[in-house]
Structure 1
Amino acid sequence: MLQSARSAPDQKQAMEAAFTRATGLLDRDPAAALAEARAMLQMAPADPVVRLIEAQAMRRSGDAAGALSRLDRLVAEEPRMFGALWELAQTAAETGDSARAVAALETLTRQQPAIATGWFLLAAQLRRLDRAEEAWRADLSGVHASARDPELLKVAAAMNVGRLDDAAAMAKARRHRIPEDPVAVRLAGEIAWRQGDLSAALDTVETALVMAPGFDLARDFMVRLLLQMNRLEEAMAHVEVLARSPVAHPGHDLLRASVLVRLGDHGEAKAIYERLLELKPDHPQVWQNLGHVLKTMGQQDDAIAAYRRSVTHRPAMGEAWWSLANLKTVHLDKSDIAAMEAALATLDPAVEDQKEDLFHLHFALGKALEDAGEYAESFRHYDKGNRLRRTMILHDADDFTTEVAATARAFDAAFLGALEPGGCPAPDPIFIVGLPRSGSTLVEQILASHSQIEGTMELPEMMMIAGRLQSRIDDGEFPDFATMIASLSPDDRARLGEEYIDRTRVHRQTDKPLFIDKMPNNWQHTGLIRMILPNARIIDARRHPLSCCLSGWKQHFARGQTFSYDLDDIGRYYRDYVALMAAYDAADPGAVHRVIYEDMVHDTEAEIRRLLDYLGLKFEQSCVDFHTNRRAVRTASSEQVRQPIYTQGLSQWKNYEPWLAPLKSALGSVADRYPAVP
């Protein structure tokens, strides 16, 4: 190892012992390490390894300038000594000599492109020199190099097979050993996300981006996390950064389109999809996404054509088939049914990434066979799709019933009567609550046709506020829901109400004074809404329980609604909903306005007048002519509300009556007494 010592065994042993001591002392006692190095240099003054240890010890002892002069000479003599180049780069970076650090790192990365840390340090130093695009490319090269790191590959493999605790432990050990490793940090963020800790995931990925701002994959993941948290403006800011990446990627455009859709800018999203399809016309996912946007914009014929192009390029594209069926006004014919059955035969339920195509195809076949009047076979496919989907989600009906009962007890008449005035006084929001498929989109379309009301979409903000309050109970800050709610002061309630108004402003695109939040699940938070937004209006859209529940069970929802994939679950959910709304009616009479779907269908104008009276608005004929409103509609009823009201759907549940015993049993007297409450 040390050429000058090879002729003398004793000297060689002494050198090796000193070498071991010096390297062991570098981090904990650099002065002692420096002494050992200089003792070795007495025996082997030209040995490059010992000279490197001396320079390392000098830097760690605070003599960076001296270390630099030695490293310059060493690198000049040993230009392929990678440790010396790395030490020179680190020392130069510490002293602020970014130009010298960049020169060393450029040499190092040319010779050793698989060393990711070299690329990341090079990127940081290039940024100090305002060489932004080169820095970005260096970060990307570092990420590329990390893709071959055996340790990181082990972490990713454990994560991908669901061994999340093992993956987290390995990632933590890696970060402890190499703190400035953005790829390991991003992996830790994804592990946290898969473990359900969205906040920790976001913080961790943000840390990775501070380390490597040019880490495009981490920024892409950041956007997706922000979308989950409905932080749309922040998501768009990161999308704008990705658009400046020196390495163009169509995925960045797709991500931009996703954010634009969430922001309600469907026209710009449509333009992006069309531009991508000009470049690659056989991309089934982009055709499907374009179909979604066209459907939302009311361009039904074009949406149908887009979905059909998607399944032409990928016949087993289950979501595209379901999207066709889900237009409600489209009837899939015998050739479509044959194509879907052939696609089903190519899929394996045991393969995880084929399950989504499978259940979507079952739902689509259920709808196609329902339209054909083959109800037994239709039910069989709906049942298979629901059973498969139920295995992929979590819903505990018993726990949910317990939570609903606790909410009803918390917001009783005594509590509401003793409540001090407070909350945000803004009258802007109109909440439409209830179950999905209850006629809520019809109510929304009617109201959004009024000159004073803007339709937005199903907004998650109230559920996010409620979830944050619930976490205070889960974390042990409060023993139960009632105690937590009672702890909110008038100022607390005002802040929460103002937060809701602020966070929903991004969805408002007009200057109309009122807007609609059509998140159906907000029925669970009626009491909270009354506390923090006392001047908001709440409309409960209700439909016959057998019609509503069966329609929900036949519907695959893009997200949420985990109760809807089992007839017993959905029946119990409807029963809980009726019970809680009845409790609110008793505790705060008149606070909630109820729209019975069947009444709206049979006597539309009278029900609309009654609804507008509750809102304190004048009657407008445009509300009766709601089907002429071309606003974007994002729910499953998007095409139905672009037609006049029809009565055919009122008793469709009877086609499936032979198989509805579990639903009837779960509903109990709620079905028998409708629209009255048991």
Structure 2
Amino acid sequence: MNDVKNILNNLVSAVKSGDSNKAHDCLSLLLADKPNLNASWLGVARMALLSGEVTSAKKALALFEVNGKKPFTDQLQQLAMLIETGQVQQAFEKAEGLAKDNPSRPEIYHLLSTVAMQLGKTELAINHAETVLKHWPTSGQTWLILASIQKASSNSTLLKRMLAIESAVKGTPNQASKSCFYAALCKVYFDLNDFDQAFEYAEKSNACLAEIQKYAVAEDRQNVRYIESQLDSFVETQPSDRRVDADNPIFIVGLPRSGTSLLEQMLCSHSKIIDGGEFNGMERASRCLTKGLPIGSRAEQLDVHIIEKHAQEIRRAYLQYAHEKFGASGIVVDKSMTNNRYLWLIKKVFPNSPIIFIKRNVLDTVWSCYRTHFSSGFAWSTSLENTAEYFSIEESLNRLWLQKFKSSILEINYQNLVEHPEDLLIKLCRFCGLEYERSMLKFHESKRAVFTASVAQVRVSVHQDAIGYGKKIERKLQPFIEHYKYSITEFD
């Protein structure tokens, strides 16, 4: 048997340095020897996922399971990683078994509620959430689930229940939980069209989150400026020969809450599109280039000769990750929130992939971001001023890519998507080289799991209810308006 400790150390070192070949070799040795690593198999699975090796991660999770009875917290971690590897239904079934063995542990019922919501099992999600609250009445995350999956009305009891527990929640030290609770109250008041109260609770939610999350605005601005200044050589010299297949994904670029999840859900209802989501494929695949650092933070990340050296490796790593996660028999839709930062690299390694820019009325988008509690943690969203800075940075990149890669990019507007969905989807399919299918209009009937903050919205048919909300609270959004560098009416 190989020296297990050395292999584990080499694996960590390889993942940190972005050496996917060395990481693969280390994983192969461990999975072949199958040493008794107990909970350390979870760490191996995590390293495998960071290297884009979903199959190896699945094997590591299976080996974790066979090594005797495990602590409850380790089993919870295993369930979360099963979900990350795409084994959502298996995770849900295991969680149900774990709940039977641990009926007094609210954590497992919270996970069950979350996964049920992601799978569109609304009533089951509500039931499990109520079980959590019996054991843990101040769980802000659980109140947020209840508020997110049902629309509050004047005769519902949700608001009354939340106001009755508010003082107890306020006294807890958990800032993340309090942030979720205030975000839930914001959602309830928003449903009731009381936008002033909704904004007040959005402020409270973001104030709590700001205590534990910081947006490095100067660093972010500097990284993007460096990308912009170094990419003169990245110009589309001829019209793109667009095509989509298992080796040429569709990339969606858009701000959070701009309609990216709706568009993805519509696309994934096409018979030739297998799945997709915010799986950070480029970020994982390009670790050989970035070494895990933010893109644009090092000169070598943008050196044309170094990029040429790694281009095929990045493409191979991306496709391996996508195929192992979603399958190799269909087209994948990638709507990762980091796509805008990697678009020049996307064009380099996937020159034929179509890119869809989706934009929404700026005030509607910022108001939606400000009142949303993002599970992935967008630190800029806790401040209207920082949101303006982030939106400005993203828009400057959009304009740069439209100059450089225009024939690869289709711009669409959220309002057009919800007002004239069929016309726009026909245009979009034509751009991607697909035949339009009417099933795309029945996206809300899909049983696929959804993991974004829009999980509830994509479970209902297309509607226009979300248009114009920003204008109704424009006076509250003045800090954003004053700091945003572009016109707020451009995408009306």
Distance 1:667 1:270, change over 3 A: same
Q: Which amino acid aligns with 2:191?
A: D
* Correspondent of 1:619 among 428, 436, 441: 436
Percent identity over the alignment is 22
Q: Which amino acid aligns with 2:135?
A: H
Q: Which amino acid aligns with 1:337?
A: M
1:355 and 2:172 aligned? no
Report the Cα offset of residue 566 of structure 1: 1.4
Deviations 1:23-74 (A, max 9, x none): xxxxxxxxxxxxxxxxxxxxxxxxxxxxxxxxxxxxxxxxxxxxxxxxxxxx
Alpha-carbon distance in 1 for matches of 2:168, 2:398: 44
Deviations 1:350-388 (A, max 9, x none): xxxx22212211211222222233333322221122122
* Correspondent of 1:263 among 85, 95, 109: 85
Alpha-carbon distance in 2 for matches of 1:449, 1:246: 41
1:431 and 2:256 aligned? no
1:377 and 2:202 aligned? no
Alpha-carbon distance in 2 for matches of 1:591, 1:181: 47
* Correspondent of 1:295 among 117, 125, 130: 117
Distance 1:472 1:292, change over 3 A: closer
* Correspondent of 1:320 among 142, 151, 155: 142
* Correspondent of 1:278 among 100, 103, 111: 100
CA contact (8 A) 1:457 1:516 kept: yes
The equivalent residue for 2:126 is 304
CA contact (8 A) 1:539 1:593 kept: yes
Matches within 5 A, 1:171-190: none
The equivalent residue for 1:144 is none
Alpha-carbon distance in 1 for matches of 2:251, 2:375: 21
Distance 1:617 1:309, change over 3 A: same
Deviations 1:484-539 (A, max 9, x none): 135433x6322321221112112214722x11112122011111101011111211
Matches within 5 A, 1:363-402: 363-402=183-222
The equivalent residue for 2:266 is 446
Alpha-carbon distance in 2 for matches of 1:228, 1:394: 24
1:496 and 2:353 aligned? no
Alpha-carbon distance in 2 for matches of 1:314, 1:667: 41
The equivalent residue for 1:628 is 445
* Correspondent of 2:159 among 323, 334, 340: 334
The equivalent residue for 2:304 is 485
Report the Cα offset of residue 216 of structure 1: 2.8
Please identify which structure carries the higher helix content: 1
Deviations 1:186-206 (A, max 9, x none): 9x99xx99xx96989x99xx9
Distance 1:282 1:661, change over 3 A: same
The equivalent residue for 1:242 is 64
Deviations 1:607-636 (A, max 9, x none): 111101100111211112222222222222
Distance 1:224 1:328, change over 3 A: farther
Q: Which amino acid aligns with 1:360?
A: C
Report the Cα offset of residue 336 of structure 1: 2.7
Distance 1:199 1:416, change over 3 A: closer
Alpha-carbon distance in 1 for matches of 2:161, 2:18: 44
Alpha-carbon distance in 1 for matches of 2:295, 2:279: 26
Secondary structure of 1:662's match? helix
* Correspondent of 1:588 among 391, 395, 405: 405
Distance 1:399 1:252, change over 3 A: closer
Secondary structure of 2:117's match? helix
Report the Cα offset of residue 473 of structure 1: 8.9
Distance 1:233 1:390, change over 3 A: farther
Distance 1:496 1:248, change over 3 A: closer
Q: Which runs of 5 or more structure 2 residues have no equivalent in the other structure?
A: none
Alpha-carbon distance in 2 for matches of 1:583, 1:241: 47
Alpha-carbon distance in 1 for matches of 2:296, 2:333: 35
The equivalent residue for 2:323 is 505
Matches within 5 A, 1:398-413: 398-412=218-232
1:638 and 2:455 aligned? yes
Alpha-carbon distance in 2 for matches of 1:433, 1:311: 38
Alpha-carbon distance in 1 for matches of 2:413, 2:295: 40
Alpha-carbon distance in 1 for matches of 2:311, 2:18: 23
CA contact (8 A) 2:18 2:288 kept: no
Report the Cα offset of residue 346 of structure 1: 3.5
* Correspondent of 2:424 among 596, 601, 607: 607
Secondary structure of 1:524's match? coil
Secondary structure of 2:341's match? helix
The equivalent residue for 1:142 is none
Deviations 1:169-188 (A, max 9, x none): xxxxxxxxxxx998xx99x9
The equivalent residue for 1:517 is 334
Matches within 5 A, 1:11-160: none
Report the Cα offset of residue 551 of structure 1: 1.0
CA contact (8 A) 2:175 2:211 kept: no
Deviations 1:248-303 (A, max 9, x none): 43444433322221122222111111111222222211111111211121111111
Report the Cα offset of residue 585 of structure 1: 1.1
Supply the RMSD in Å over aligned alpha carbons: 3.7
Decide which structure has the larger Cα Rg and report it.
1
* Correspondent of 1:549 among 349, 366, 379: 366
Q: Which runs of 5 or more structure 1 residues have no equivalent in the other structure?
A: 1-126, 129-179, 349-353
